[in-house]
Structure 1
C-alpha cells in the first residue's frame, strides 16, 4: 500500500519543501502520496509536522505510524496528550553545520574582541592583543547533536572546552560534566558560555541570577538554543552591574523580539533574529524520507524523542 504523508505546516513551508521531499522520497525508493491536505485522517500514515501548524489533535489519525518534526525543538508538541505514536525530532546535517558556524563565529568575535576594534577606528594606535585560544575557556551547556558538534569545532581551534549535560555524556576532546555539581564547575570555568540545551521544565530559567553569579566576572553568554533558558531580568541586571561582559542572543521568549524590548538598545547585547541555525529543506527532506523508509521497512525510526525527558 502506498503510504500517505501529510505535510502539516505553513503554506510557505509547503512551497519550500514540496519538491525537495518528493525528490528525497524517490531517492529513498519510496512511492508515497504527499499532500498538505489531510483528507480522511484515518488514511494518513505519517505526518511531517511543524509545531506552528494548526493541527493539534492527533486522535483522528488512527493509522498514523509516526510524526516527523520539521524543527529541532519539540517543546511545543512533546506534551500533546493526543500524540501517542513515535515522535522524531529533526537532526539535520545542514542545521548542525549552520549552528557550528554561528557558534564558532561569535565565540571568535568575542575572543578576538572584534567589536572593540570596529568601534575604535579613531586614528589612535591602541593595541589590544587577545590571549591565545588555549587560554580562553569555553563552556557549552547541552551536548546533543548541535552542542557536541559546536564543542568539538571550538576544541579544534584550541579552545579548552567544557561540556555539560544533565545526564553523563562522552564527547571526544571535550571535558564532559553532568549533574548539579558539574553545572557549578562548568559555569565557574566559562569565560564564554554557549547555551544549546533543549527547553524542558528542568532547563527553563536555568541561567538565573544564582547561576550567572557563578560565571567569571566579564564572561560572555551566547544563546542560540532557546530563549526561555535565560531569566531576562537577571541577565540585564548582571550586564548593568558589569558582572557580564556581553550577551549575544539569537532566541527569545517572544519572537519576533518586540521593538521596545530593552535588549535592542542595550550596549552589551547583540541581537540576531533566530538565524543561528535554520532547517534546510533539501537536507531535512532526506532525514524525513529516511524515517519514512524505515517505517515502511519495519526498522527503528531515527532521532526519537524521549517523552519523559522532553527531547
Structure 2
C-alpha cells in the first residue's frame, strides 16, 4: 500500500496520509481501502467517507459492521481499456480456434481451422457497466455479434440487450460467455451448472468478474464432460490459486493470475484525493456506490 500512499500524496500533498495500524489511523476521516479487516471501519469514530481503491466494493460491503457512510469507488478509463484488450484476446483465442491448434501442437498434428466471419460468433457479456460497455462496443467494432445481459440494460449501438427476465434466452444464443458482473447476493455463484447447461453445447467462458461468481466444481464437470468447449478464468474464490486446486489441471482451461486489468496507482490516488477535496468543500462526490445494488 505504500505506492498508493505516495500516489495520494502526489495528487494532494496537503493531506495527512497514514497506514492502517498506525496510532493516528484511528482518527482518520477518510478510509481508502480494498479489503479492510472486519470491524476496522466501525472503530474509526471520525470517519466521514469510505473510498474503495478498486472498481469493486464487495469486500467492503461484506463487513457486517460497516458504518452508514458514503462509499465511493475508482473508475479508470484505462482499466476498461486493459479489460477490453484481455477479453478481446480471449474471444479471438476461441474464435480463431487457437485452443484447438495448441492441443494439436502437443500431438504433432497438423490441422488448419476454417476461417469464419466474426458475425458468425455471438459473444454474450454479463454486466454492462463502464467496463462491460467498453468491451461490448469494442467487440462489435470487430464484427462479432454481441449481446449483453444486465440488471439495468444500457442502450449500446449494435448490442442486443437482455434484462433479468431474459437470462435464459441470452444464454441460449451465446457462443462465448464473458462474465464482467459486480459481485452481489444475486450474482454470487451465477456461473454454475444451471448456467452452463443453458449455453449451447461447446460454448466457451471468459471469466473476469469476481472469483465468487464461479462454482468451481460445476465448471470442472462441464469442461471434463465436454459440455463446454473451453474456458479462460482470471479470478478465483481464493487467490493466489492453491497449487492443488483442480482448475490447474482441468482440460481446455487457461488459468491466468488475476491479470486482466488493474487501475493505475496514480489514477487511484488522484480519484481518492479529488473526492476528499469534494467532501471538504461540500460538493457532490464522484462514483458513489448505491449500497442497495452493491455497485
Task: Report the equivalent of 2:220.
Answer: 236
- Deviations 1:26-77 (Å, cap 9, x if unpaired)? 5xxxx322222351634x22111121x4473323433322111112221121
- 2:159 paired residue number: 174
**Would you say 1:70 and 2:70 are equivalent positions?**
no
1:103-123, Cα deviation, whole Å (9 max, x unpaired): 111111111112323343477
After superposition, residues 1-311 of structure 1 pair within 5 angstroms as: 13-14=1-2, 16-25=3-12, 31-36=14-19, 37=22, 39=24, 41-42=26-27, 44-51=28-35, 53-54=36-37, 56-80=39-63, 81-121=65-105, 126-180=111-165, 182-311=166-295
Distance 2:25 2:104 in 1: 64
**Distance (whole Å) between structure 2 residues aligned to residue 82 and residue 231 of structure 1:** 27
Report the CA distance between 1:307 and its aligned residue.
1.3
TM-score by length of 2: 0.91
TM norm structure 1: 0.87
**Whole-angstrom CA distance in 2 between matches of 1:229 and 1:55:** 22
Number of equivalent positions: 291
**In structure 1, C-alpha distance between the alignment counterparts of 2:181 and 2:10, rounded to whole Å:** 33
Aligned CA distance change for structure 1 residues 205 and 20 (closer, same or farther; 3 Å): same
Unaligned stretches of 5+ in structure 2? none
Question: Where does the alignment leave 5 or more consecutive residues of structure 1 unmatched?
Answer: 1-12
Matched-pair contact (CA < 8 Å) for 1:70–1:89: yes
- Aligned mates of 1:207, 1:40 — CA distance in 2: 39
Distance in 1 between residues matched to 2:236 and 2:56, nearest whole Å: 14
Cα distance in 1 for residues equivalent to 2:12 and 2:38: 23
Cα distance in 1 for partners of 2:182, 2:108 equals 45
Assess if the C-alpha contact under 8 Å between 1:94 and 1:283 holds in 2: no
Aligned mates of 1:125, 1:263 — CA distance in 2: 28
2:209 and 2:55 map into 1 onto residues whose CA distance is 10
- Cα distance, 1:188 vs. partner? 0.9
